[in-house]
Structure 1
């Protein structure tokens, strides 16, 4: 596979493939040298950022700058400029180095419950007063002997430490090594065995005691079943998944999402952090050009489990249909609504200037110039440009993700929500380029302190994101607008969680106040993204003047429309939450029936 990747690299970058291979070799050597050392990751970060800056400032470092004798090599630089795609390579460098560093025992700040929108499995070793041994087949389950009598915790998935009060069946959660509390410590299967099939809790005897392991198991099963009950016929119906028969029905995205997060957090055996897996990961052709971004742990683990794909042929075929449908929508949009071209060439500004000049020469005050742009035209243009940007990136990322799925590697989905279905900045960035968001959370946000330093972290992270995209002032302007906008949002969310405001939960007043704030947030999101990716800092000024100054009443109408749209978004979130709660209740009932929750003699 590495040889094929090198051939692909030479085809798209020509002689500049030498730069990519050389920089990759330097990163690998540095990562191996510094892994597990204090501040070792800082060296890899400096290497990645410095080489990225050098590549961008030198515009790909022409060979003639190194030596005039190498100038002929510049005539064979390939189809694509290597330095444009080097930013994605740097992310892979840092992912490999960080995963290796933590696998060797390097310290990592643990994330709190607020640091991620998904489940998090803490890795470590279980301790307790009892003993347990792993079953060794399928899910890791150990028999724990605790102090006292009562109901123990149930069996869990993966390998981990059992937790329970009393004599019972020790259990653990995790994927290779988990954290346990209570009586009993269990060992389970290595990566590569069947570890993801959920199992119901069991108890030895009757009682009400349930340890930490049972609680974590319940949370895991909730996640697995979030999109529907596990079905025995999943694989027979074309579904993949490591669980085989009885695995969750995964046309559901929740199981795939959960499994990808678990694989990303699970350290691999140190032998897998070697040169060939590193090169295969960095140069993997389907994801090399545009992503989505996948962590080294997840990529290497899926390579080890190639015969047990997360998605079966039917799911891949359905995804191909969705990607084709998105491409058809993009074609229709660009032909019928060419607003991106209108914004790019400043057509409205030119029309406004021409109309203003004509009106100054006219005696009737401009009544004969109905083609002069109005605030509505600016607002519609801004809206459809953002829709176009979302659809364009959706098509690009789904195409490359589809190729990866066909090869058996499942990267995260990048666009998880429609751009028209977002009302808060934090939620918007979780669903727009979601794989990059996860990378930032894992390798920047959590190591820098997570939610404890959120107000400061967002400035560093957004500045990095802007410079990572390109060295342009408009992107820095976009980044700082976003960082400034997210601060008041964080304040309002914190106030909403206070005890004095909780009594208003569920009331119409609270809902409408939130909708007003969300409508203002949407306007800010639209303005910031237009600055960063469409019109720039200078282009947003005419748009704001038209919308805010020419017809102030128009802004009120727009705000009212957004207020109504947010109500629909709230309703959809309520439906999603209701479905999740119903599923959790079903799981709880099944767990209670399987384990026996009453008192016993």
Structure 2
């Protein structure tokens, strides 16, 4: 069903872009409307909470972007709601008056505060990209092009899109909301920076050709067939869940644990690459999670950088100043908890 839905969304967006020659502003409105429809199905009336928090965050970023209190305000606001969302279980409309209590019957099919963790990362990303643009941060494009093999070939790499500042009109409310709610990456990511997203919604990515995207999709289908074979032929999860491993030898327990770990790696690979595939079809390249096989990670640092590579890149880029670095690690602990 999700494939049919994303296929319809992709067809609508591509048709409107081609017919009306839409750029950043036009495509942001198209994808915002599509994504709102998607979120109404997922979260029902709870989309009100998402839009309200996102709107206040936008106002705070615009107000404090040029002040020395920016990092403190941005992180405090986002961590506050990240905590409250979890403590209050996504809130109840009855908190705001009994006349709104009936809306609690229309909460959709998926808990909104679970997905909001990714929205929080995007709100912070927008804030810092706008903050650095206001401070006049300049990316050395010439130096980067000399070192980057992708940019040398005439294409545009993700790092270039992420680091260069945009025109001020790109930091508009419509593009901001489109970035937060962009349907293909909304549920599970991968996480993309605002600058990279806004650049590609204006001019679609050129890193992957049509053939490259097609091969990417075929590799995903192959990976799906592998996990289907694993679930039918190997019983690692059954041993782990049933408790039979308690009666086995140490070597058998190691084999079961190793098998479960590989199964989990392949499962998350399928999830992240599925959503990234649909994003690529729509011209948005997000960082690849799990670029390396889990069996090719020889230490914890390599494992972390490879497992959730897009989040690692997000975390490293947000930690350019001391305040962000401190609360960034707090946020990492909150998300992992």
Q: Distance in 1 between matches of 2:255 and 2:92?
A: 43
Query: Relative to 1, partners in 2 of residues 1:412 and 1:40: Cα closer, same or farther, differing over 3 Å?
Result: same
Aligned to 1:347: 244
Helix, strand or coil for the counterpart of 1:173? helix
Deviations 1:384-406 (A, max 9, x none): 11111111100000100011011
Helix, strand or coil for the counterpart of 1:7? helix
- 8 Å CA contact 1:5–1:285 kept in 2: the answer is yes
CA RMSD of aligned residues (A): 2.3
Aligned to 1:330: 227
Aligned to 1:468: 335
Q: Distance in 2 between matches of 1:101 and 1:334?
A: 48
* Offset of residue 466 of structure 1: 3.2
- 8 Å CA contact 2:118–2:188 kept in 1: the answer is yes
Aligned to 1:46: 76
Query: Relative to 1, partners in 2 of residues 1:334 and 1:65: Cα closer, same or farther, differing over 3 Å?
Result: farther
Q: Does 1:289 align with 2:164?
A: no
Aligned 1:230-309 pairs, distance under 5 A: 230=153, 243=154, 259-306=157-204, 309=206
* Offset of residue 331 of structure 1: 1.4
Q: Distance in 2 between matches of 1:339 and 1:67?
A: 50
Q: Distance in 1 between matches of 2:212 and 2:323?
A: 38
* Offset of residue 32 of structure 1: 0.8
TM-score w.r.t. length of structure 1: 0.49
* Offset of residue 449 of structure 1: 9.2
Q: Distance in 1 between matches of 2:250 and 2:77?
A: 48
Aligned to 2:57: 27
Q: Distance in 2 between matches of 1:461 and 1:99?
A: 16
Q: Of the candidates 166, 173, 192, which is equivalent to residue 143 of structure 2? A: 173
Query: Relative to 1, partners in 2 of residues 1:338 and 1:272: Cα closer, same or farther, differing over 3 Å?
Result: same
Deviations 1:213-261 (A, max 9, x none): xxxx3x335x657xxxx5xxxxxxxxxxxx3xxx5xxxxxxxx7xx101
Q: Distance in 1 between matches of 2:328 and 2:252?
A: 34
Q: Distance in 2 between matches of 1:83 and 1:346?
A: 33
Q: Distance in 1 between matches of 2:151 and 2:47?
A: 42
- 8 Å CA contact 1:38–1:106 kept in 2: the answer is no
Q: Distance in 2 between matches of 1:341 and 1:469?
A: 26
* Offset of residue 47 of structure 1: 0.8
Q: Of the candidates 314, 322, 333, which is equivalent to residue 448 of structure 1? A: 322
- 8 Å CA contact 2:75–2:327 kept in 1: the answer is no
Q: Distance in 2 between matches of 1:396 and 1:12?
A: 17
* Offset of residue 75 of structure 1: 1.2
TM-score w.r.t. length of structure 2: 0.85
* Offset of residue 63 of structure 1: 1.6
| Contiguous gaps of at least 5 residues in structure 1 | 108-121, 125-157, 159-171, 175-197, 199-216, 231-242, 248-255, 350-371, 451-456, 471-601
Q: Distance in 2 between matches of 1:279 and 1:464?
A: 22
Helix, strand or coil for the counterpart of 1:420? helix
Q: Does 1:399 align with 2:274?
A: yes
RCO comparison, higher one (Cα < 8 Å, 6+): 2
Query: Relative to 1, partners in 2 of residues 1:35 and 1:461: Cα closer, same or farther, differing over 3 Å?
Result: closer
What is the total number of aligned residue pairs between the two structures?
307
Structure with the larger helix share: 2
In terms of Rg, which structure is larger? 1
Q: Of the candidates 412, 417, 420, which is equivalent to residue 287 of structure 2? A: 412
Q: Does 1:15 align with 2:15?
A: no
Aligned to 1:220: 148
Q: Does 1:383 align with 2:275?
A: no
